[in-house]
Amino acid sequence: MAELPQLRLVTPPTADGSATRRPSTARRGMRPGRIVSVGGGKGGVGKSLVAASLGIELARRGCRVVLVDCDLGGANLHTSLGIDPPRRTLSEFVNHSVERIEEILVPTGIPNLSLVSGALDHLDAASPSHGQKMRLIRHLQSMEADFAILDLAAGTQKNTLDFFLLADHKVLVLAPEHSAVENAHRFVKAAFWRRLRAASSIFGVANLLDEFLDGGRFRGPAEVLDAIQGADEEAGRQLREQMAAFRPGLVVNQVRTPEDAELGPGVAAAWRRHFGIDMDVLGAVEYDDDVWRAARERRPLLLARSESRASRSLVRIASVIQELDALAETGR
Amino acid sequence: MKSLSEQSFYEILEIRRSATPEEVRRAYERARALFGPGSLASYTLLAPDEAEVLHLRIEEARSVLLDPQARATYDERLPAEGEWKGRPAAAFQTAKTPVAQDAQSPRTSWPAIPGVDFHPPEGTTWTGDLIRQAREARGLSILQVSERTKVQRSYIGNVEAERFDQLPRAVYLRGIVLSIASALRLDGEKVARSYMERATGAGAPAKGR
């Protein structure tokens, strides 16, 4: 199946505690870069704000960060960063005008932070072919940076799901409103099935999965995994191991009340309870007029209003991501 | 994972068979808040017919488990598999290492905590120092509590030392205290209420709204 390379298999830590890393970086003898994807299904919930803020904060802490605008049809991450639409964009990479993704990095004026703009001039480039997408993914995974942060488009388009799935940190942004929650649920379901399908092909149980799904008698992921394991113990076990790494991290934006702040844990509990899928609650961002004030000034929130409540929430989320990394690193 | 109709009332409410009526009531409120009509968190998560079954089961669970006679009859006929074996829903943050976990292993709750029980008299004011004493009585380090609760170590230290200015706002602080207290097998609600009175009384940035 042609879709496979995007799926980074999870390797349990070896006896000496070291997990298998991407070979390119292992050879260079450095810590591999982490990919953070920021998605959420619905537009306007604050994906770009979260992506830009995480980028700025991690860069301020001395990490080399590349922000990648993966909203190929409606790229505007540069605006969140307060810079003009860059001349160099993913167009050049997608059209093979440049060899390496590093060649289209544009500086952001913030030390350690650069941007790959998704603003595309050609309409057809907004939906790259499979080959173009896979090349982009390969380059993202081997980029020389501590963090690549992908700002995803709204919706559940295949490319968007794939960019979400390839990340080490799958950040899901939602707001305390019904349409945002609905889209977040839809997004997670779509992403989960896409990953399960790809993993099933690897372990040779794709037919089994189709058979079960066509039967239509399954309620959710946990039941399907049970059924596959019942039919093929070894494949089912490996599939489970892979799917355990499907672990979105929730960020609830625009929190106005204590009840709003409970939405993250609530959504995580509902998913665990009903589908057996674990999520991390990365944090909540308080509703804050400073967010639009900074946007109106065309300056990044963290720089324009560093003491605002929203800024402080976002800084904490950056800490949580680093803590999760530290945990993964020690193989706990 | 059992289907809704196969789950016992205990599994539906995610409580142990030994749960007290008060625990049943609280679990019912929690389940209703999470899955009841109008819940935001689970909006469109379940298919409408499934959601309806779940609402019914939650109501049924409450009425049976809160009626001592009905509960006794129900318990008598309930097979051992009806025991809920899940882990409690994390109160603050469910963050865990994102690397592969052994999904095979049963979802056990926290391991039993060694050490002595810690029961201060009713109406005790829960100061940071008392929380520290409770933790030490349990023989737990701050690191261990942090691992159980996923609350940052510095926050636990700041809670114990009552450095309110270095703690997050009330909304979050309450969740943190609740998590810590639960991990110490204390009555989280009671501890959080008492502690928050002190925290918000102190003025600090820990103001609710």
In the prediction, which pLDDT does A31 show? 57
In the prediction, which pLDDT does A17 show? 44
CB within 8 Å: B152 and A319: yes
Query: Which residue in B39, B46, B97 has the most chain A C-beta atoms within 10 A of its own C-beta, making it the best mutation to test that interface?
Result: B97
Name the CATH code of domain B128-201 (choices 1.10.1740.10, 3.30.565.10, 1.10.260.40, 3.40.50.261): 1.10.260.40
> Residue B1: which of A186, A226, A249 has the nearest Cβ?
A226
Average pLDDT over residues A249-268: 93
- The domain in which residue A136 lies consists of 31-330
In the prediction, which pLDDT does B153 show? 85
pLDDT-based confidence at residue A111 (cuts at 50, 70, 90): very high
Query: Where along chain B do its domains lie?
Result: 4-80, 128-201
Between A38 and A71, whose confidence is greater? Answer: A38
Query: Which residue in A186, A247, A271, A316 has the most chain B C-beta atoms within 10 A of its own C-beta, making it the best mutation to test that interface?
Result: A247
CB within 8 Å: A181 and B96: no
Average pLDDT over residues A125-154: 88
In the prediction, which pLDDT does A188 show? 94
In the prediction, which pLDDT does A179 show? 94
* Interface membership of B74 toward A (CB under 8 Å): no
Chain A CB contacts of B84 under 8 Å are none
The CATH number of residue A241's host domain is: 3.40.50.300
Residue B96 has pLDDT above 50, yes or no: no
Chain A CB contacts of B42 under 8 Å are 266-267, 270, 274
* Interface membership of B172 toward A (CB under 8 Å): yes
Phi, psi of A89, deg, nearest 5: -140, 175
* Interface membership of B97 toward A (CB under 8 Å): yes
CB within 8 Å: B96 and A182: no
In the prediction, which pLDDT does A113 show? 97
* HEC readout, chain A: CCCHHHCCCCCCCCCCCCCCCCHHHHHHCCCCCEEEEEECCCCCCCHHHHHHHHHHHHHHCCCCEEEEECCCCCCCHHHHCCCCCCCCEHHHHHCCCCCCHHHHCEECCCCCEEEEECCCCCHHHHCCCHHHHHHHHHHHHCCCCCEEEEECCCCCCHHHHHHHHCCCEEEEEECCCHHHHHHHHHHHHHHHHHHHHHHHHHCCCHHHHHHHHHHCCCCCHHHHHHHHHHHCHHHHHHHHHHHHCCCCEEEEEEECCHHHHCHHHHHHHHHHHHHCCCCEEEEEEECCHHHHHHHHCCCCHHHHCCCCHHHHHHHHHHHHHHHHHHHHHHCC
* Interface membership of B33 toward A (CB under 8 Å): yes
CB within 8 Å: A324 and B208: no
Residue A20 has pLDDT above 70, yes or no: no
Residues A212, A226: Cα–Cα separation, whole Å = 11
- Give percent above pLDDT 70 in chain B: 78
Structural domain includes residue A14 = no
**Residue pLDDT, tens place only, B20-50:** 999 999 999 999 988 888 889 999 888 888 8
* Interface membership of A32 toward B (CB under 8 Å): no
In the prediction, which pLDDT does A122 show? 62
Q: Is the pTM of this model over 0.90?
A: no
CATH of domain B4-80: 1.10.287.110
Structural domain includes residue A18 = no
Structural domain includes residue A16 = no
* Interface membership of A278 toward B (CB under 8 Å): yes
> Residue A178: which of B43, B99, B208 has the nearest Cβ?
B43
Lowest mean pLDDT among A92-96, A196-200, A302-306, B89-93: B89-93
- Give percent above pLDDT 90 in chain B: 22
Average pLDDT over residues B95-120: 39
> Residue A178: which of B3, B35, B40 has the nearest Cβ?
B40
| Nearest CA-CA partner of A35 in A268, A249, A240 | A249
Between A218 and A165, whose confidence is greater? Answer: A165
- The strand pairing partners of A172, in sequence order, are A39, A250
Residue B88 has pLDDT above 80, yes or no: no
CB within 8 Å: A265 and B93: yes
Average pLDDT over residues B104-109: 30
Task: Give the three-state DSSP class for B136.
Answer: helix
In the prediction, which pLDDT does B123 show? 79
pLDDT-based confidence at residue B93 (cuts at 50, 70, 90): very low
Query: Which residue in A10, A256, A274 has the most chain B C-beta atoms within 10 A of its own C-beta, making it the best mutation to test that interface?
Result: A274
CB within 8 Å: B100 and A12: yes
* Interface membership of B93 toward A (CB under 8 Å): yes
**CA A22 to chain CA centroid, nearest Å:** 18
Residue B113 has pLDDT above 60, yes or no: no
CB within 8 Å: B104 and A270: no
| Nearest CA-CA partner of A58 in A324, A295, A327, A317 | A317
Residue B92 has pLDDT above 60, yes or no: no
Give the residue from chain A lying closest to B107, CA to CA.
A276
Count of A-B CB contacts under 8 Å: 127
Structural domain includes residue A199 = yes
> Containing H/E element for B24?
helix B21-35
Average pLDDT over residues B174-188: 84
CB within 8 Å: A11 and B100: yes
Number of domains in chain A: 1
CB within 8 Å: B95 and A266: no
| Count of C-beta atoms within a 10 Å radius of residue A331 | 14
Structural domain includes residue A5 = no
Average pLDDT over residues B57-73: 93
Give the residue from chain A lying closest to B94, CA to CA.
A280
Average pLDDT over chain A reads: 85
**Residue pLDDT, tens place only, B5-27:** 778 899 899 899 999 999 999 99
In the prediction, which pLDDT does B46 show? 85
Average pLDDT over chain B reads: 77
